[in-house]
Amino acid sequence: MKKAMLHLGCGRTYIKNAVNVDFFETKYCDQVVDLNEFPWPWKDNSIDEIYMLYFIEHFDSAQLINILKELHRILKVNGLLHIQCPHFTSMIALTDVDHKKSFSVTSFGILEGNNYVFPKALFKKELVKINILLTLPSENKYIDFDFEKTDRNIGAHPLMRRLLRPFSFIFQFCIDLSPTLFERFWCYWIGGADEIIYRGKKV
């Protein structure tokens, strides 16, 4: 049976076998939806997988809480939520004038419940990972992009990416050993990290 998949805030990327959704009609978009308006047009427990790539940083706290509630509502139990967003030390985290939030690996702990926003868990974490370099579509092992419909750019700061590339494997290994220590003690020594990937299953 074919999975029901959504790619919300698709921008200039296109995921195969998904409904690619954005605020405005473009050549990358299958469905135009104002994602600031709730409830969203999808039924309860109707979606198997949701992908949001560099999307959630464009919303303030109140909007983001509503978005998380909607994600939980429309996903099936055990449905997959995949998020990629700038790490708080990224050069684009808050320098983009349209970005309203920045994120740490601890930011997604709110989804596991036992807090004042979500007393009950919404999602069970499968992965939270800091990447020293932004994951380009051609490098993304989690997502099947349609490259004929995707703008295969080289990232926001291509020169910096080329300079960091020879050292990125060493830095990435050290970050993976302890993301918490990276954020607390040495993240700024190397100029920060580009992104966070979160993957969780609805509970």
CATH of the domain at 31: 3.40.50
176-203: pLDDT as tens digits = 999 999 999 999 998 899 999 999 999 9
What is the average per-residue pLDDT within 109-134? 96
Token pair belonging to 42: 């999808």
Around Cβ 29, how many Cβ atoms within 10 Å? Answer: 21
**Nearest residue to 52 (alpha-carbon basis) of 118, 109, 103, 116:** 103
Q: CA 38, CA 137: separation in Å to the nearest integer?
A: 30
pLDDT band for position 1 (cuts 50, 70, 90) = confident
pLDDT of 156 over the 70 cut: no
What is the average per-residue pLDDT within 28-56? 97
Structural domain total, the chain: 1
Cα distances (Å, whole numbers) of residue 165 to 79, 91, 118, 173: 34, 16, 39, 13
In which domain, by residue range, is 177 found?
5-202
pLDDT of 165 over the 90 cut: no
What is the average per-residue pLDDT within 85-91? 95
What is the average per-residue pLDDT within 38-51? 98
Quickly tell me which residue has 């939520």 as its tokens. 81
Q: CA 48, CA 32: separation in Å to the nearest integer?
A: 20
| Structure confidence at residue 158 (pLDDT) | 73
What is the average per-residue pLDDT within 27-37? 95
Q: CA 197, CA 156: separation in Å to the nearest integer?
A: 17
End-to-end CA distance of the chain: 22
| Structure confidence at residue 155 (pLDDT) | 63
pLDDT of 92 over the 90 cut: no
Cα distances (Å, whole numbers) of residue 87 to 14, 102, 191: 23, 7, 12
